[in-house]
A = this chain, B = another copy of it.
Amino acid sequence: MEQPRPDLIPNPAVRRLSLYLRQLESFKRKDRRTISSKQLGESLNLTDAQVRKDLAYFGQFGNPGIGYRVDDLIAQVKKILGTDKVWNVLLVGSGNLGRALMAYKGFNAKGFRLTAVFDASPQLVNKKIGSFNVQPMTELEATIQKNQIRLAMIAVPADNAQDVVDQLVAAGIRGILNFAPTSVNVPPNIALTAVDLSVQLEQLSFQVNFAGMAPTPLSDTGS
């Protein structure tokens, strides 16, 4: 598969890749061997043209008259997303949300392994939470190098978020999933995605508040 020019691929197409992967895995659980772009699209309220266009950014996958082989396409999409290998992930913040992330079982199945947990608070450092031993921030760089960690999740108070992000970037982290309820800045070569649970509820309350509004579920899915 030829590596595409990543700057030419729109973010929404990459988001839909994750949705295609979910659907393909669901088809696989139902023992489907092949699937057409029309069937894959219909399961997500997308047109077959959209499915073909999204996949075409990354190569030529289908077989005329057969469609896509489910197993093959799962493997290819995982390779594109980078989840054909396991990523070690660290977490900074062991408060309520941090503990939730520690307990969340969904990451492992998708190729992510929570490997280390850090906290700045002396009250929490060295505490045992589930199977994790909360480490001090001073051990960040050594742990990142030892475990070849590239991805981090932060679940810290808003006022600490930028400082934590700066420390992560300096220590070699390349992608950050920000659960702190604030915006943070990263250098252009660092990937950043934000998940603010209250923002998600606000978006819903806006839509419900404006009762006449027709929501567009798919444009929000997975984003």
Contacts and interface: CB of A to CB of B under 8 A. Distances in A.
User: Which of A26, A195, A204: most chain B Cβ within 10 A?
Assistant: A204
Contact of A201 (B43, B45, B87, B209): B87
A21 B183 CA distance: 11
B99 A205 contact: no
A115 interface: no
Given A22-B182, A97-B104, A193 B205 contact: no
Contacts of A181: 22, 106
A103 B102 CA distance: 13
B22 A175 contact: no
A83 interface: yes
In the assembly, how many copies of this chain are there?
2
Given A198-B110, A199-B18, A208 B96 contact: no
Contacts of A75: none
A6 B213 contact: yes
Contacts of A177: 200-201, 204
B15 A203 contact: yes
B106 A99 contact: no
B208 A174 contact: yes
A44 interface: yes
Contacts of A197: 101, 104, 106-107, 195
Interface of A: 3, 6-7, 11, 14-15, 17-19, 21-23, 26, 43-45, 80-83, 87, 89, 96-97, 99-101, 103-107, 109-112, 150-151, 153, 158, 174-177, 181-183, 185-186, 188-210, 212-223
